[in-house]
A and B are shown apart, each in its own frame.
Chain A
Amino acid sequence: MKNTIETSDRPVTITIPEPEYPLHTLSVLVNNKPGVLARIAQVFSRRGYNIESLVVSPAAEMDFSRMTIGARGEESGLDQIKAQCNKLIDVISCYDHTDDAVVSKELALVKISVGASSRGEALQIAEHFGCKTLDLAPESLVFMVTGDSGKLDAMVGMMQKFGIVELVRTGKVVMTRGNGLT
Chain B
Amino acid sequence: MNAEPRDGAQTLLKCLEAGGIEVMFGYSGGAALPIFDALETAGTKIKFVLARHEQGATHMADGYARATGKPACVLVTSGPGAGNTITGIMTAHMDSVPMVIISGQQVTWMLGKDAFQEADIFGITMPIVKHSYLVKDAADIPRVTKEAIYLATSGRPGPVLIDMPKNISQGPCDAPLDAEIDLPGYNPEKAYEIDSKDVEAVAAALAKSERPLILAGHGAMLAHAGPELKELAETARIPVCNTLLGKGIFDETHELALGMLGMHGTAYANKAVCEADLIFNIGSRFDDRIIGQPDKFGKNATIIHVDIDPSEMGKMIQPDLKIVGDAKVVLAELNKHIKALPTESWLATLDGYKKRFPLSYKIQGGLKMQHVLDVWDRLTESNSIVATDVGQHQMWSAQFNKSKAPWNWISSGGAGTMGFGFPAAIGAQLGRPDDVVIAVVGDGGFQMTLCELATAVLQKLPLKILVLNNHFLGMVRQWQELFFDNRTSGVDLEGNPDFVKLAEAYGAKGFQIKRPADIEKVLTRALEYTDGPCLINCEVVKEDNVFPMIPAGAALEDMITEKPKHRMEKPTGST
Binding site for B on A (CB under 8 A): 30-31, 34-35, 38-39, 42, 46, 79-80, 83-84, 86-93
Contact = CB atoms under 8 A, between A and B. Distances in A.
A98 B309 CA distance: 24
Given A42-B127, A46-B127, A92-B185, A87 B310 contact: yes
Contacts of B185: 30-31, 88-93
A84 B314 CA distance: 12
Contacts of A93: 185
Contact of A38 (B126, B151, B310, B315): B126
Nearest to A30: B185
A34 B404 CA distance: 46
A87 B183 contact: no
Interface string B557-573: 00000000000000000
Contacts of A34: 134
B127 A86 contact: no
Nearest to B151: A89
A46 B184 CA distance: 25
B131 interface: yes
Contacts of A30: 185
Contacts of A31: 184-185
A42 B151 contact: no
A34 B134 CA distance: 9
Contacts of A89: 130-131, 151, 183, 185-186
Contact of A83 (B126, B151, B313): B313
B510 to A, nearest CB: 45
30 contacts: A31-B184, A31-B185, A34-B134, A35-B123, A35-B132, A35-B134, A38-B123, A39-B126, A42-B126, A42-B127, A46-B127, A79-B314, A80-B311, A80-B314, A83-B311, A83-B313, A83-B315, A84-B311, A86-B311, A87-B310, A88-B185, A89-B130, A89-B131, A89-B185, A89-B186, A90-B131, A90-B185, A92-B184, A92-B185, A93-B185
B122 interface: yes
Contact of B126 (A35, A79, A91): A35
Interface in B149-207: 151, 183-186
Nearest to A45: B127
A38 B313 CA distance: 25
Interface in B302-337: 309-311, 313-315
Interface string B127-139: 1001110100000
A91 B310 CA distance: 14
Contacts of A91: 185
Nearest to A80: B315
Interface residues of B, number: 19
Nearest to B314: A79
Contacts of B151: 89
A86 B310 contact: yes
A83 B308 CA distance: 13
Interface string B108-124: 00000000000000110
B122 A35 contact: yes
Contacts of B313: 83
A79 B312 CA distance: 11
Given A30-B185, A84-B311, 12 more contacts: A31-B184, A31-B185, A38-B126, A42-B126, A79-B314, A80-B315, A83-B310, A87-B309, A89-B131, A89-B151, A89-B185, A93-B185
A181 to B, nearest CB: 14
B29 to A, nearest CB: 24
B553 to A, nearest CB: 18
A30 B185 CA distance: 8
Contacts of A87: 309-311
Contacts of A38: 123, 126
A39 B184 CA distance: 17
Interface in B22-77: none
Contacts of B132: 35
Q: Which of B122, B185, B315 has most A Cβ within 10 Å?
A: B185
A49 to B, nearest CB: 15
A91 B186 CA distance: 8
Nearest 7 pairs between A and B by C-beta?
A83-B311, A89-B131, A92-B185, A87-B311, A91-B185, A89-B186, A84-B311
A92 B182 CA distance: 12
Nearest to B136: A34
Contacts of A39: 126
B151 to A, nearest CB: 6
A31 B184 CA distance: 8
Interface in B192-243: none
A35 B309 CA distance: 23
Contacts of B123: 35, 38
A1 to B, nearest CB: 33
A93 B187 CA distance: 11
B186 to A, nearest CB: 5
A38 B122 CA distance: 11
Contacts of B134: 34-35
Nearest to A63: B184
B153 to A, nearest CB: 14
Nearest to A61: B184
Nearest to B315: A80
A46 to B, nearest CB: 7
A11 B310 CA distance: 49
B172 to A, nearest CB: 23
Contacts of B314: 79-80
A34 B185 CA distance: 15
A31 B147 CA distance: 15
B425 to A, nearest CB: 31
Contacts of A46: 127
A86 B186 CA distance: 9
Nearest to A79: B314
Contacts of B183: 89
Contacts of B309: 87
B128 to A, nearest CB: 11
Contacts of B122: 35
A35 B183 CA distance: 15
Contacts of A90: 131, 185
A86 B309 CA distance: 10
Contacts of B127: 42, 46
